[in-house]
């Protein structure tokens, strides 16, 4: 089956009710290297949406299962109350929280990253998208971006995300699934 176009995805988001006060939240999850960030950027551009990245939420390579205090407590819950949200982004080089990212209320918000569509987050979302691509392609993309020296971290992360997605039933909890190895047309 062919992927929907960016225009079709944007229309789908616009057609859905907001579940985060007045904001239509799109959660884009799936394994690392599957194409979530690219999809989020393209869809965010069409919707005029802020894109928040899981890489700013996790506390390093071990942060997958401990992301709720930022994702839930600092972003989703305040926004559900109609309040602006903010959080300190993770600085991967300094291994600590750094610059503040503001997340004001807006018509659309996209949060992308491994684990962002965990069970506790899904009720806040208007649309949950799961992006998948073959393991070898995902690893190749990761090594190309981060360098060969990060291979062991990528391989370890791939095991952790598999366990996380299975425990959270992320794929079956998604409204749509995208093939991250296939083209996604604009219209």
Give 89-141 pLDDT, tens digit per residue: 999 999 999 999 999 999 999 999 999 999 999 999 999 999 999 999 999 99
- For residue 81, what are the CA distances in angstroms to 22, 123, 162? 10, 14, 32
Which pLDDT score, from 0 to 100, does residue 65 have?
Answer: 85
The answer regarding whether domain 6-56+106-179 maps to CATH 3.40.50.300 reads yes
pLDDT at 74 over 80: yes
Give the span between the Cα atoms of 53 and 81, in whole angstroms: 22
Which pLDDT score, from 0 to 100, does residue 101 have?
Answer: 98
- For residue 179, what are the CA distances in angstroms to 34, 85, 146? 8, 32, 22
pLDDT at 14 over 80: yes
Determine which helix (DSSP H) or strand (DSSP E) holds 99, and give its type and residue range. Answer: strand 96-103
Which pLDDT score, from 0 to 100, does residue 61 have?
Answer: 86
Confidence of residue 1 (pLDDT cuts 50, 70, 90): low
pTM beyond 0.75: the answer is yes
**Residue 99: CA count within 13 A, CB half-sphere:** 7
CB 127 within 8 A of CB 24: yes
| Torsion angles phi and psi, residue 80, rounded to 5 | -65, -25
């Amino acid at each position: 089956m062919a992927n929907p176009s960016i225009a079709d995805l944007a229309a789908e988001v616009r057609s859905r009710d907001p579940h985060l006060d007045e904001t239509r939240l799109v959660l884009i999850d799936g394994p690392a290297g599957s194409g979530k960030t690219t999809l989020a950027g393209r869809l965010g551009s069409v919707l005029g949406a802020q894109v928040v990245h899981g890489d700013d939420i996790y506390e390093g390579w071990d942060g997958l299962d401990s992301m709720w205090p930022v994702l839930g407590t600092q972003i989703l819950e305040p926004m559900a109350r109609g309040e602006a949200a903010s959080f300190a982004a993770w600085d991967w080089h300094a291994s600590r929280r750094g610059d503040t990212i503001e997340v004001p209320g807006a018509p659309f918000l996209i949060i992308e990253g491994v684990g962002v569509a965990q069970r506790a987050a899904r009720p806040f979302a208007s649309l949950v998208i799961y992006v998948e691509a073959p393991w070898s392609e995902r690893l190749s993309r990761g090594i190309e971006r981060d360098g060969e020296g990060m291979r062991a971290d990528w391989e370890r992360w791939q095991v952790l995300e598999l366990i996380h997605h299975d425990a959270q039933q992320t794929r079956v909890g998604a409204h749509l699934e995208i093939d991250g190895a296939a083209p996604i047309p604009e219209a």
